[in-house]
Structure 1
Amino acid sequence: MADGGALPGLQRIAGLVRSVRTPEFEGITFHEITSKSALNKVPAASHVPFRWTVNPYRGCSHACTYCLSGYAPISMADGSTIPLARVRPGDHVLGTRLEGRSRRLVRTQVLDHWRTSKPAFRVELDGGTSIVASGDHRFLTADGWKHVAPGGDDEPERPHLTTRDHLMGLRRSVVGAAVRPGDALAVSYVRAMDVELPMFDLTTGTGDFIAHGVVSHNCFARNTHTYLDLDAGDDFDRQVIVKVNVADVLRREVSRRTWAREHVAMGTNTDPYQRAEGRYRLMPGIIEALAGSGTPFSILTKGTLLRRDLPLLRRAAEDVPVGIGVSLALLDETLHRSVEPGTPTPKARLDLIRAVRAAGLPCTVLLAPILPGLTDSEKQLSALVAAVADAGATGISHIPLHLRPGAREWYLGWLEATRPDLLPLYQRLYHGGSYSHQRYRDWLRARVEPHLRRHRLRADDEPADEPADGTLDDRRRPLHGKRWGPRLTPEPAPAEPGQEALF
Structure 2
Amino acid sequence: MRWENLSSAPPDTGSPSGAASAAPPLPLALPGAVVRTFDTPAFAGMTFYEVQAKSILNRVPGTSRVPFEWTINPYRGCSHACAYCLAGETEILLADGGTRPLARLRVGDQIYGTVAQGNHRRYVRTEVLAHWSTVKPAYRITLEDGTELTASGDHRFLTPRGWKHVVSSPPGDAPRPYLALTDSLVGTGRSTATTDARPGGPDGRLDGTILGSRAALRIRGIEPLDGELRLYDITTGTGDFIANGVVSHNCFARNTHTYLDLDAGRDFDSKVIVKVNAGEVVRRELAAPKWRGEHVAMGTNVDCYQRAEGRYRLMPPILTALRDFANPFSILTKGTLILRDLPLLRQAATVTRVSVSLSVGFVDEPMWRSVESGTPSPRRRLDAVRQLTDAGFQVGVLMAPILPGLTDTEESIEATVAAIAAAGAVSVTPLPLHLRPGARQWYAAWLAREFPRLVPRYRALFGTGSYLPQAYQREVTARVRMAARRHGLHRAGSGEARQVTPTDVPAPVVEQLTLL
TM bin, normalised by shorter chain, reads: 0.5 to 0.7
Q: Residue 4 of structure 1: SS of its match in structure 2?
A: coil
Q: Is the 8 A contact 1:62 1:340 kept in 2?
A: no
Q: Residue 257 of structure 1: SS of its match in structure 2?
A: coil
Match of 2:256 in 1: 225
Q: Deviations over 1:33-67 (max 9, x none)?
A: 111111111112223322111101001111299xx
Q: In the TM superposition, what is the alpha-carbon distance from 1:250 to its structure 2 partner?
A: 0.8
Q: Is the 8 A contact 2:23 2:35 kept in 1?
A: no
Match of residue 77, structure 2, among 34, 59, 71: 59
Q: Residue 48 of structure 1: SS of its match in structure 2?
A: coil
Match of residue 390, structure 2, among 358, 364, 367: 358
Q: Deviations over 1:164-213 (max 9, x none)?
A: xxxxxxxxxxxxxxxxxxxxxxxxxxxxxxxxxxxxxxxxxxxxxxxxxx
Q: In the TM superposition, what is the alpha-carbon distance from 1:14 to its structure 2 partner?
A: 5.2
Match of 2:225 in 1: none
Q: Is the 8 A contact 2:399 2:429 kept in 1?
A: yes
Match of residue 22, structure 1, among 35, 39, 51: 39
CA RMSD of aligned residues (A): 2.4
Match of residue 362, structure 2, among 330, 333, 336: 330
2:59 paired with 1:41: yes
Q: In the TM superposition, what is the alpha-carbon distance from 1:446 to its structure 2 partner?
A: 2.2
Return the alpha-carbon distance in structure 2 between the equivalents of residues 227 and 321 of structure 1. 35
Q: Is the 8 A contact 1:58 1:227 kept in 2?
A: no
Change (3 A) 1:337 1:223: closer
Q: Which runs of 5+ in 1 are unaligned?
A: 66-84, 89-221, 463-503
1:31-180 equivalences in 2 (<5 Å): 31-63=49-81
Q: Residue 353 of structure 1: SS of its match in structure 2?
A: helix
Q: In the TM superposition, what is the alpha-carbon distance from 1:226 to its structure 2 partner?
A: 7.6
Q: Deviations over 1:354-411 (max 9, x none)?
A: 0110110121100111111111110010010010011111111111111223322211
Q: In the TM superposition, what is the alpha-carbon distance from 1:228 to its structure 2 partner?
A: 6.4
Return the alpha-carbon distance in structure 1 between the equivalents of residues 366 and 386 of structure 2. 23
Return the alpha-carbon distance in structure 1 between the equivalents of residues 298 and 258 of structure 2. 13
1:365-380 equivalences in 2 (<5 Å): 365-380=397-412
Match of 2:427 in 1: 395
Return the alpha-carbon distance in structure 2 between the equivalents of residues 41 and 274 of structure 1. 22
Q: In the TM superposition, what is the alpha-carbon distance from 1:439 to its structure 2 partner?
A: 2.3
Match of 2:22 in 1: 3
Return the alpha-carbon distance in structure 2 between the equivalents of residues 323 and 448 of structure 1. 21
Q: Residue 68 of structure 2: SS of its match in structure 1?
A: coil
Change (3 A) 1:350 1:227: farther
Relative contact order, CA 8 A, sep 6+: which one is greater? 1
Q: Is the 8 A contact 1:389 1:457 kept in 2?
A: yes
Q: Residue 405 of structure 1: SS of its match in structure 2?
A: coil
Aligned residues: 308
Match of 2:348 in 1: 316
Q: Residue 53 of structure 2: SS of its match in structure 1?
A: coil
Residue type at the aligned position of 2:72: V
Return the alpha-carbon distance in structure 1 between the equivalents of residues 488 and 76 of structure 2. 37
Return the alpha-carbon distance in structure 2 between the equivalents of residues 391 and 228 of structure 1. 39
2:332 paired with 1:300: yes
Residue type at the aligned position of 1:225: T
Match of residue 448, structure 1, among 449, 457, 480: 480
Q: Deviations over 1:384-443 (max 9, x none)?
A: 001001111111111111122332221111111111111111111111411112222122
Residue type at the aligned position of 1:48: V
Return the alpha-carbon distance in structure 1 between the equivalents of residues 78 and 343 of structure 2. 25
Match of 1:488 in 2: none
Return the alpha-carbon distance in structure 2 between the equivalents of residues 226 and 377 of structure 1. 34
Return the alpha-carbon distance in structure 1 between the equivalents of residues 364 and 470 of structure 2. 27
Residue type at the aligned position of 2:472: Y
Q: Bigger shift: 8-17 or 385-394?
A: 8-17
Change (3 A) 1:30 1:342: same
Q: Deviations over 1:200-244 (max 9, x none)?
A: xxxxxxxxxxxxxxxxxxxxxx98328963322221111110001
Return the alpha-carbon distance in structure 1 between the equivalents of residues 484 and 384 of structure 2. 20
1:441-480 equivalences in 2 (<5 Å): 441-460=473-492
Return the alpha-carbon distance in structure 2 between the equivalents of residues 441 and 34 of structure 1. 41
Change (3 A) 1:302 1:18: same
Change (3 A) 1:25 1:399: same
Return the alpha-carbon distance in structure 2 between the equivalents of residues 268 and 452 of structure 1. 23
Q: In the TM superposition, what is the alpha-carbon distance from 1:457 to its structure 2 partner?
A: 1.6
Residue type at the aligned position of 2:37: V
Match of 2:271 in 1: 239
Q: Deviations over 1:303-347 (max 9, x none)?
A: 000001111110110011100000011111111111112211111
2:299 paired with 1:267: yes
Match of 1:133 in 2: none
Change (3 A) 1:265 1:461: closer
Return the alpha-carbon distance in structure 2 between the equivalents of residues 305 and 386 of structure 1. 24
Return the alpha-carbon distance in structure 2 between the equivalents of residues 31 and 18 of structure 1. 5
TM-score w.r.t. the length of structure 2 is 0.57
1:178-189 equivalences in 2 (<5 Å): none
Change (3 A) 1:306 1:227: farther
1:184-199 equivalences in 2 (<5 Å): none
Q: Is the 8 A contact 1:273 1:304 kept in 2?
A: yes
Q: Is the 8 A contact 1:15 1:34 kept in 2?
A: no
Q: In the TM superposition, what is the alpha-carbon distance from 1:17 to its structure 2 partner?
A: 2.2
Residue type at the aligned position of 1:55: N
Return the alpha-carbon distance in structure 1 between the equivalents of residues 285 and 31 of structure 2. 19
Q: In the TM superposition, what is the alpha-carbon distance from 1:86 to its structure 2 partner?
A: 6.0
Q: Bigger shift: 441-450 or 297-306?
A: 441-450
Q: In the TM superposition, what is the alpha-carbon distance from 1:259 to its structure 2 partner?
A: 1.2
Match of 1:13 in 2: 30
Q: Residue 380 of structure 1: SS of its match in structure 2?
A: helix
Q: Is the 8 A contact 2:407 2:413 kept in 1?
A: yes
Q: Is the 8 A contact 2:254 2:439 kept in 1?
A: no
Q: Which runs of 5+ in 2 are unaligned?
A: 1-19, 84-106, 111-252, 495-516
Q: Bigger shift: 11-20 or 442-451?
A: 11-20
2:302 paired with 1:283: no
Change (3 A) 1:15 1:318: farther
Q: In the TM superposition, what is the alpha-carbon distance from 1:460 to its structure 2 partner?
A: 4.7
Match of 1:406 in 2: 438
Change (3 A) 1:14 1:41: farther
**What fraction of aligned residue pairs are identical, expressed as a percent?**
52
Return the alpha-carbon distance in structure 2 between the equivalents of residues 228 and 345 of structure 1. 31
Q: Is the 8 A contact 1:227 1:269 kept in 2?
A: no
TM-score w.r.t. the length of structure 1 is 0.58
